[in-house]
Structure 1
Amino acid sequence: MRETMRLQGLDVVIEGQGPTVVFLHGWPDTLALWDDTVQALHDGYRCVRFSLPGFDLSQPPRPQSVDDMCALIGAVVDAVSPGEPVALVLHDWGCFFGYEYAARHVDRVARVVSADIGDTNSGAYLAALTAKEKRMIAGYQIWLALAWKLGSIWPAMADRMTRYMARRIGCKTEPSQMGWQMNYPYALQWLGSFGGLRGVARVDKVFGPKVPTLFLFGKRKPFMFHSARWLAQLATTPGCAVQGLDAGHWLMRQQPEVFNRAVRQWLDASRVAAEGDA
């Protein structure tokens, strides 16, 4: 059974029955990123997903501050599961926003599955990056931040810039489904737009120690979005796990069977463990 809830101008799609799982995608995707994963989970979990504000190109641009995004995630969580904490399944910028929401509302998040974005705001991660890797990361992210700024003046060029960079970094999303409106998270990070990223939580201080976490990452990338210390921390924390996949950044599309099986098995095991502790 599939139903749609309209909330704060967004379509929130709900499928399946069981404990609630809320999915958050990243750049340059929509809720469609999770189609296969929802199919793998919906017979045992109530799967909730929506396209982040501004990522549905049929709607006007809708940039969000970190506070706004956390408030939106909270409104969705409270609407779909008012009495119980939820699991979060996250990717890319969905990881960043989901981590921040969970850090602020630990009581509303039972567990987290995060894909490919780890402790990127930790000292261990920054120290591990080579100068070349830092240049590569800054290069594509600043490009997208500038495309965001250009979008309100010259949207056609901003779209071309966005799609060009997506091709360069291996994104297989259909170009017609990508646009400059999606780039505002990079404007937050590099231009300080909409309040920037000041004061966000240190990921490595929350996940693992306070929230059971499964971290899945692609091993075939020019650089990683996590530190070796993050992997070791999760691998040695009871209730947490890590797994590297033979994939790039979009591992749920490049290795869907492996990804979905890992998510399902860990959610099932984590659920049983939580019920046993109750």
Structure 2
Amino acid sequence: MSSQLVVTGVPVYVEGSGEDTIVMIHGWPDTHRIWRNQVQFFSKNHRCVTFTLPGFGDTSTKKGYSLDEVVDTIHQVVQAVSPDKKVILMIHDWGCIYGYQFAMLYPERVKSLIAIDIGDSNSRDLEKSLSVSAKAMIFSYQMTLATAWLVGGFVGDKITRGVAKGLQCKAESQHIHSRMNYPYAIRWLRTLGTFDGLKQVNPECPFFYAYGRKKPFMFQSPAWQQRMATRPKNIVREFNSGHWVMVDKADEFNAAVSEWLMTLA
């Protein structure tokens, strides 16, 4: 069973049927398409909802969106697809940043949370745990993307696709463009607002955290990882993959999440 609706100008895709609804939120430089393996697997027993973040779509004309605007979009989507029941959030990369914020602001709307490879990104613990070389790498690629956003057009798109290729991103090149770099512009150039209002990542609901080990640095601190792992009903799971765990290890990831969800039923 599949359907499509438009929420605040954003196309929203609903696949499958079941009592629970899984809302999947992607990151950079992806679109709703990145979840194809999860939709195929989980739609057998769940309603799977995907959408492309504002400004990440091929036809978006607005230069970028503030933190509040993106979180409000998520809220509107959740209200539209599941007005009377909590949803399961499945989030990756920048989808984690925005998804965590939504979960912290609207805990009454989130039944459980599945996050992939971005943990306590705004914590002092993570900052302390990163080496000087890791911080330099992060600044280098993120500032390049922020600059590409400023430049825009053909040149900005070319720079963005070059960075995406270097980072071994999974999105098709034709769907990658500089307008989707606005989160990096907000972080480093403080355009379109700031991320100063981000809440600390401390989910109240059952939490499954997946991360890949095959990376030069981690996006979660050891202290936060340990805190999350010791809470009842939480799982922290390492995968032999890169940043895109749900693509690199789709079958293993899907099975692990499915098994965990069954323990919560």
TM exceeding 0.5: yes
How far off its partner does 1:233 sit?
Answer: 1.0
Does the residue aligned with 1:88 lie in a helix, a strand or coil?
strand
Q: Which residue of 2 aligns with 1:34?
A: 35
Question: Given residue 91 of structure 1, which amino acid in structure 2 is its aligned partner?
Answer: H
Structure 2 distance, partners of 1:196, 1:211, is: 27
Q: Does 1:268 pair with 2:262? A: yes
- Aligned counterpart, 2:94: 93
Equivalent position SS for 1:193: coil
- Partner letter of residue 135 of structure 1? A
> Which of 137, 147, 157 is matched with 1:159 structurally?
157
Local SS of the residue matching 2:255:
helix
TM-score, reference length from structure 2: 0.97
Pairwise CA distance, 1:61: 3.7
State the distance in 1 between where 2:37 and 2:236 align.
21
Q: CA deviation at 1:58?
A: 2.8
Counterpart amino acid of residue 3 in structure 2: E
Matched, 1:78 2:76: no
Offset at residue 62 of structure 1 (A): 4.9
Q: Distance in 1 between matches of 2:160 and 2:232?
A: 41
Contact 1:188 / 1:197 at 8 angstroms: preserved in 2?
yes
CA deviation profile, 1:8-62 (whole Å, cap 9, x unmatched): 1111000111211100000000001001101111111111110111111133245
Question: Aligned with 1:196: secondary structure?
Answer: coil
3-state secondary structure, aligned to 1:52: coil
Q: How does 1:1-278 map to 2 (within 5 A)?
A: 1-18=1-18, 19-151=20-152, 155-203=153-201, 206-207=202-203, 210-270=204-264, 272=265
Letter in 2 for 1:5: L
1:77-120 deviation digits (Å, cap 9, x = unpaired): 11111111111000000000000011111111111000000011
> Alignment partner of 1:99: what SS?
helix
Structure 2 CA distance, aligned partners of 1:68 and 1:49? Answer: 18
SS in 1 for 2:149: helix
Question: Are the counterparts in 1 of residues 120 and 224 from structure 2 also a CA contact under 8 Å?
Answer: yes
The alpha carbon displacement at 1:191 in A equals 0.9
SS in 2 for 1:216: strand
Work out the number of aligned pairs and report it: 264
- Which amino acid in the other structure matches residue 8 of structure 2? Q
1:266 Cα deviation from its structure 2 partner: 1.5
Secondary structure in structure 2 of the residue aligned to 1:225: coil
Alpha carbons 1:54, 1:63 under 8 Å: kept: yes
Alpha-carbon contact 2:145-2:159 (below 8 Å) kept: yes
CA distance in 2, matches of 1:184, 1:268: 37
Q: Conserved in 2, the CA contact under 8 Å of 1:162 and 1:179?
A: yes
- Equivalent-residue separation in structure 1 for 2:155 and 2:28 (angstroms): 18
CA distance in structure 1 between the partners assigned to 2:170 and 2:110 by the alignment? 31
The unaligned stretches of length 5 or more in structure 1 are 273-278
Is the 8 Å Cα contact of residues 34 and 171 (structure 2) preserved in structure 1? no
Whether contact under 8 Å (2:149, 2:178) holds in the other structure is yes
Moved over 6 A (4+): none
Q: TM-score, normalised by structure 1?
A: 0.93
CA separation in 2, counterparts of 1:267 and 1:183?
33
| Secondary structure, aligned partner of 2:192 | helix
**Counterpart in the other structure of 1:275:** none
Instruction: Report the identity percentage.
Output: 39
**Separation in structure 1 between the aligned mates of residue 81 and residue 195 of structure 2, nearest angstrom:** 28
